[in-house]
């Protein structure tokens, strides 16, 4: 009994000592964690890319096994799957850019032309305003201090150089991170079975007692996130294509670009539809206010059809999360990490909802019996 009490005292003392160290050295610990996270950012991005590409990879590998059978064909299964997966993504991006860029250039030119009219009106108003003319007439260059002017010019030059250096450094950093993340994602996809076996061995060695519940939690999160990503992409593609077809029938301007914007916005739950519609209304309003009103009615009807028919069939069943919790997940995720948080917290809440519902069901069964 005394040994047990002594062990309790020692454990409590160690816990208090660790808490004291955490409070005193928290700034250093937080700085160290920030440095480690910054160093791991390319690897984390690569892991996310690999997880998304793996959804396509599974489909291509299934198709490859159906078409090519035999031991020799299996050697090239993974390489062809990875190649076709990345090729599909790059082709989709290239097609989208090829379709959107011409309309984007046309839209920018239209906005510039409208902007030039505003500038012309301002100049005309200035010419007819005698008070502003008198103010500028009193402005004499001879009264300026050359030392002040030199300081302003030198500061402007140095500020421009610093801005250029900062921009160049940011571009190089983003490019380096993207390249490292891309190749790391390929590495993860090639050796994903080996990595899975290593993780399983670690769990068996150190967490063997809780292996079953831990693996259940991991599988639940994996299913929720993979189903959510696949379903959300399908729904976004359907909504974007439907928007393009409808706008083409109604002879709306910028049908391709607004269809793409609508599809991208559909990836964001709840708020994405509002963002896509707002951008479309603003762009079309620059051409014709009447067409902007027609587009607003069209996009509202399209969103209602998607929310009531397409989304429940494509995404709703795979997530299994009530709408009230979807709204809560979007609000919390947006407050924590903006748009990215909105997209990630919905499957997170879905996984937690499924785990808690299953556990509650198990606990209620003995009482009901």
- How does pLDDT run across 291-339, given as a tens digit for each residue? 889 999 999 898 888 877 777 777 766 677 777 787 788 888 888 877 7
Q: How far is CA 298 from CA 238, 281, 302, 313, in A?
A: 16, 11, 6, 22
Write a three-state SS string for 187-198: HHHHCHHHHHHH
Structurally, the chain folds into a number of domains equal to 2
Same domain, 53 and 189: yes
Q: Is residue 274 part of a domain?
A: yes
Specify the DSSP element, H or E, that contains 326. helix 323-368
The answer to which of 18-22, 77-81, 221-225 has the lowest mean pLDDT is 18-22
Which one has a higher pLDDT value, 366 or 86? Answer: 86
Is the Cβ–Cβ distance between 276 and 236 less than 8 Å? no
Same domain, 215 and 196: no
The answer to which of 71-75, 160-164, 192-196, 284-288 has the lowest mean pLDDT is 160-164
Mention every residue, 6+ apart, whose C-beta is less than 8 A from residue 188.
46, 47, 50, 195
Whether 36 shows a pLDDT value over 70: the answer reads: yes
Give the integer Cα–Cα distance in Å for 71 and 68: 10
Q: What was the pLDDT predicted at 57?
A: 93
* Residue 54, domain extent: 27-113+164-207
Q: What is the pTM of this model?
A: 0.76
Same domain, 38 and 173: yes
Is the Cβ–Cβ distance between 107 and 254 less than 8 Å? yes
Give the integer Cα–Cα distance in Å for 190 and 184: 10
Give the integer Cα–Cα distance in Å for 299 and 243: 7
Q: What was the pLDDT predicted at 2?
A: 47
Q: What is the mean pLDDT of residues 144-171?
A: 63
Q: What was the pLDDT predicted at 116?
A: 58
Give the integer Cα–Cα distance in Å for 221 and 47: 15
Same domain, 244 and 318: yes
Tell me how many degrees the CA angle 217-313-300 measures, rounded to the nearest 5: 120
Question: Last residue of a domain, which of 146, 172, 207?
Answer: 207
Same domain, 269 and 168: no
Q: Is residue 320 part of a domain?
A: yes
Instruction: Look at residues 234, 231, 232, 257 and name the one whose alpha carbon lies nearest to residue 244.
Output: 257
Q: What was the pLDDT predicted at 32?
A: 80
Is the Cβ–Cβ distance between 189 and 50 less than 8 Å? yes
Q: Is residue 121 part of a domain?
A: no
Query: Between the CA atoms of 47, 51, 53 and 54, what dihedral angle is there, to the nearest 10 degrees?
Result: 130
Helix axis angle, 271-285 relative to 255-266, nearest 10°?
160
Instruction: Look at residues 226, 220, 290, 216 and name the one whose alpha carbon lies nearest to residue 253.
Output: 290
Q: Is residue 148 part of a domain?
A: no
Burial of 192 (0-12, 13-18, 19+ CB in 10 A): middle
Whether 147 shows a pLDDT value over 60: the answer reads: no
Mention every residue, 6+ apart, whose C-beta is less than 8 A from residue 172.
none
Q: In the structure encoding, which two tokens stand for residue 106, read together?
A: 């046309």
Q: Where does the pLDDT of residue 102 fall: very low under 50, low under 70, confident under 90, or very high at 90 and above? A: confident
Q: What was the pLDDT predicted at 117?
A: 58
Q: What was the pLDDT predicted at 149?
A: 53
Q: Is residue 15 part of a domain?
A: no
Could you give the percent of the chain with pLDDT greater than 70? 82
Give the integer Cα–Cα distance in Å for 351 and 320: 9
Q: What is the pLDDT of residues 184-242, one digit of tens each?
A: 999 999 999 999 999 989 988 888 788 888 899 999 999 989 888 888 888 888 888 99
Q: Is residue 144 part of a domain?
A: no
Q: How far is CA 262 from CA 193, 211, 217, 236, 364, in A?
A: 37, 43, 34, 8, 44
Same domain, 188 and 304: no
Same domain, 184 and 288: no
Is the Cβ–Cβ distance between 331 and 325 less than 8 Å? no
Same domain, 216 and 196: no
Q: Where does the pLDDT of residue 53 fall: very low under 50, low under 70, confident under 90, or very high at 90 and above? A: very high
Which one has a higher pLDDT value, 239 or 366? Answer: 239
Q: What is the mean pLDDT of residues 73-101?
A: 89
Mean residue pLDDT of the chain comes to 80
Q: What was the pLDDT predicted at 182?
A: 93
Same domain, 80 and 215: no
Same domain, 222 and 179: no
Same domain, 199 and 259: no
Question: Last residue of a domain, which of 191, 207, 223?
Answer: 207
Q: Is residue 12 part of a domain?
A: no
Name the phi and psi angles at 268, rounded to 5.
Answer: -95, 120
Give the integer Cα–Cα distance in Å for 9 and 14: 9
Same domain, 82 and 172: yes
The answer to which of 9-18, 155-164, 267-276 has the lowest mean pLDDT is 155-164
**Which of 14-18, 180-184, 227-231, 270-274 reaches the highest mean pLDDT?**
180-184
Q: Is residue 291 part of a domain?
A: yes
Question: Last residue of a domain, which of 172, 207, 242?
Answer: 207
Q: In the structure encoding, which two tokens stand for residue 69, read together?
A: 């059978």
């Amino acid at each position: 009994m005394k040994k047990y009490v002594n062990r309790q005292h020692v454990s409590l003392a160690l816990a208090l000592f660790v808490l004291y160290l955490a409070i005193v050295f928290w700034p250093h610990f937080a700085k160290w964690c920030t440095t480690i996270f910054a160093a791991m950012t390319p690897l984390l991005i690569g892991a996310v890319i690999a997880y998304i590409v793996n959804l396509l990879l599974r489909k291509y590998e299934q198709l490859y096994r159906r078409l090519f059978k035999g031991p020799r064909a299996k050697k090239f299964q993974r390489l062809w799957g990875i190649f076709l997966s990345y090729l599909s993504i790059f082709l989709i991006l290239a097609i989208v850019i090829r379709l959107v860029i011409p309309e984007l250039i046309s839209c920018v030119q239209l906005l510039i032309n409208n902007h030039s009219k505003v500038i012309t009106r301002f100049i005309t108003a200035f010419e007819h305003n005698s008070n502003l003319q008198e103010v500028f007439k009193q402005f004499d260059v001879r009264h300026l201090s050359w030392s002040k002017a030199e300081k302003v010019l030198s500061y402007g030059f140095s500020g421009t150089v610093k801005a250029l250096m900062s921009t160049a450094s940011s571009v190089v950093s983003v490019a380096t991170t993207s390249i490292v993340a891309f190749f790391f994602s390929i590495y993860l996809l090639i050796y994903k079975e080996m990595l899975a076996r290593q993780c399983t061995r670690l769990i068996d060695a150190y967490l063997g007692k809780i292996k079953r519940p831990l693996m259940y939690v991991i599988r639940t999160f994996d299913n929720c996130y993979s189903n959510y990503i696949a379903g959300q992409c399908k729904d976004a593609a359907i909504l974007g294509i439907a928007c393009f077809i409808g706008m083409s029938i109604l002879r709306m301007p910028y049908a391709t670009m607004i269809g793409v914007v609508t599809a991208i916005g559909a990836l964001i739950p709840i708020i994405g539809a509002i963002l896509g519609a707002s951008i479309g209304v603003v762009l079309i309003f620059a051409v014709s206010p009447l067409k902007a009103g027609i587009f607003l009615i069209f996009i509202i009807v399209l969103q209602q059809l998607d929310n009531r028919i397409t989304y429940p069939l494509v995404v709703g069943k795979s997530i299994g999360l009530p709408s009230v919790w979807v709204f809560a997940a979007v609000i919390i995720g947006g407050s924590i990490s903006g748009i990215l948080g909105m997209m990630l917290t919905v499957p997170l809440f879905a996984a937690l909802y499924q785990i808690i519902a299953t556990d509650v069901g198990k606990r209620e069964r003995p009482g009901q019996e």
